[in-house]
Amino acid sequence: MEIFIEESALSFKLAQNIIKSYPAKIISSYENFKWEKKPFPELISIGKKRLFLIHYKGNFFRNCPGTKAYFCCRYKIFHFGEGCPLDCSYCILQLYLNRPGLKIWANLIEDGLPELKRVLKEHKEKKQVLRIGTGEFADSLALESICNVSEILINFWQEVNPLAVLELKTKVALSENYFSKFYPDPRIIFAWSVNPEKIIKYEEKGTAPLEKRLESAKKAVKHGFTVAFHFDPIIFYEDAEKEYPLVLEKILNSVPLNKIAWISLGTLRYPKDLKAIAENRFPKTKIYSQEFIEGLDGKKRYFIDLRRKLYNSLKKIIDETKGLVTFYFCMEGERMWEEVLGKKITSSFQVKTLLDEVALNLCYDKTKKGGN
């Protein structure tokens, strides 16, 4: 991994911590960095091996970029950077981020944490619970060995003691030593995106095998944290209806149900321009060869009958949890909620309320166990 630091970012604590352990090159700015004269898909691959520490001037706290056309959980994001060193064939970042390279905001400690602290204080005073994550524009933990951003945030949660949960979404495995550095805190949710091993092997380059992800989840629970899982995207292939239920069974047999915050479900969907970029970068992928329709949000998605078929393959196991685990859909409508999950959900606000209740219980759990 090559590391580049903007001149204006050199004085920030995060940059200083990184250059103590890793060699880095100073550049005038990311905007003026000279990239090779290659097609954009090639630059995406090159950029996955280049990390830029940037003086960020935007907002760190923001809304999740969910669509208004389908029900959204109204999640909040702490935006610590952009880009991911992992390489999934379906990743929307291939299209969404039109600037290559892995970017971390070097002023996260000086500017990002005070902004977040203000927001957390305001909501706590109003007794409004928040669900905050970091895994929308980057994997929360894939660069942790270099940047320690999640470690900074976990310690920040202990210091500020907010009425909020922090969800760290990832596809990597974590060691026992990583979890042992922290005090137990059920408000910290380590979340893994999951797929059958066949999809992981062929469509999720550089990620941890499913078994390693589940081993990490067990370690997280052992050290007093909560876990979550995201079946998103669920991808159709010949054995999908057999293999996705096996993944869900493995999860439910690996982790105590009362330690799972939630499990999300969502099938493959993508902006139409992603297909050309992804097939250029992953010529062996077959996931874009199915029939798709254009959804209400303009994204390509499976026909509703196929989506229902995939979700229903999990329904029996979901029903067997007897409500002890909260399942929810990411970007589906009223019909799917009722037919598959048996819930009368008619708005994004109701999805938010459902998950906020789980988050509030985790905050209450922390208070019972000796939080401030």
Is there a domain that residue 6 lies in?
A: no
Q: How much of the chain exceeds pLDDT 90, in percent?
A: 89
Residue 98: predicted pLDDT = 73
CA distance 228 to 68: 24
Residue 370: predicted pLDDT = 56
Question: Residue 198: which of 238, 171, 257 has the closest Cα?
Answer: 238
Backbone φ and ψ for 39, nearest 5 degrees, come out as -60, 150
Average pLDDT over residues 331-335: 91
Give the pLDDT confidence of 217-268 residue by residue, as tens digits: 999 999 999 999 999 999 999 999 999 999 999 999 999 999 999 999 999 9
Is there a domain that residue 29 lies in?
A: no
Task: Give the HSE-up count for residue 172: Cα atoms under 13 Å, Cβ half-sphere.
Answer: 18
Is there a domain that residue 230 lies in?
A: yes
Is there a domain that residue 238 lies in?
A: yes
Q: For residue 67, give its domain range.
A: 59-98+108-368
Residue 296: predicted pLDDT = 84
Q: How far is CA 362 from the centre of its chain?
A: 19
- Alpha-helical (H) ranges within 126-225 are 144-147, 149-160, 176-180, 197-203, 210-222
Is there a domain that residue 11 lies in?
A: no
Is there a domain that residue 28 lies in?
A: no
Q: How confident is the model at residue 372 (pLDDT cuts 50, 70, 90)?
A: very low
Give the pLDDT confidence of 18-73 residue by residue, as tens digits: 999 999 999 999 999 999 999 999 999 999 999 999 999 999 999 887 767 788 88
For residue 328, pLDDT beyond 50: yes
Looking at the structure of the chain, the number of domains it has is 1
Helices (H) and strands (E) in the chain, counts: 14, 18
Average pLDDT over residues 345-356: 94
* Residue 172 belongs to domain with CATH number: 3.80.30.30
Q: How much of the chain exceeds pLDDT 70, in percent?
A: 97
Is there a domain that residue 154 lies in?
A: yes
With 0.75 as the threshold, say if the pTM is over it.
yes
Give the pLDDT confidence of 299-314 residue by residue, as tens digits: 999 999 999 999 999 9
CA distance 77 to 86: 20
Average pLDDT over residues 260-281: 96
Q: Are 285 and 279 in contact (CB under 8 A)?
A: yes
Residue 59: predicted pLDDT = 94
Backbone φ and ψ for 236, nearest 5 degrees, come out as -80, 135
State the sign of the Cα–Cα–Cα–Cα dihedral 359, 229, 71, 77: positive
For residue 367, pLDDT beyond 70: no
CA distance 150 to 172: 13
Average pLDDT over residues 149-154: 98
- What's the mean pLDDT when you consider all of the chain? 94
Question: Residue 98: which of 31, 54, 51, 40 has the closest Cα?
Answer: 40
User: How far separated are the first and last CA of the chain, in Å rounded?
Assistant: 40
Q: Are 83 and 97 in contact (CB under 8 A)?
A: yes
Is there a domain that residue 288 lies in?
A: yes
